[in-house]
Amino acid sequence: MAHLYLTRKQIQNQQWEALMASAASNSIVLAGPHLTRLSSNIHENASMATSIYSDDNNVEDLEMLLEAYFMQLDGIRNKILSVREYIDDTEDYVNIQLDNQRNELIQLQLILTTASFAIAINTLIAGIFAMNIPCQLYDAKYQPIFFPFVGGTSAGCFLMFLLMLGYARWKKLLGP
């Protein structure tokens, strides 16, 4: 943990470099009989530097810094989790809206299919009577029957369409 205390480590490195620089400057100035004194001076400087490094038990400031960083990271993590939850909620909301639109399109398709079925029945009946089969209804004296017959079949098919829509609403296939 003491190696993580970068400020103290930087100060120690600067002090060590200053001690080494002072020892180097002493070695240039000193000569001859003072050589033994130089070696003792270097040992004193080295012992001071190691005493600086041996003071690693005082890491309370580092622990406080790490705890502050941990609290910041925990706050950031909580914000990320809340944003993730917000994104999930938004995605769920969008899916609900899409499902609603899909249901409306299915209801429209049901209505159109029912209408096309009713029109197909009316077309079938008109097609059957439009064939070139000899029939007494084609005579001139039965001509006034044609328009009421077509109107009746059309009204019957429209009634069938309304009944199918009523049944779909009763089964709750269509909205209110």
- According to the model, what pLDDT value does residue 64 have? 84
11-32: per-residue pLDDT in tens?
888 888 888 887 777 655 444 4
**pLDDT bucket at 49, cuts 50 / 70 / 90:** very low
pLDDT score of 2: 62
Higher pLDDT, 49 or 61: 61
Predicted TM-score (pTM) of this structure: 0.53
Distance CA 143, CA 141 (A): 6
> What confidence tens digit (pLDDT) does each residue in 86-132 have?
999 999 999 999 999 999 999 999 999 999 999 999 999 888 877 66
Note whether 1 and 59 are within 8 A (CB): yes
Q: How far is CA 133 from the centre of its chain?
A: 68
Beta carbons of 168 and 114 less than 8 angstroms apart: yes
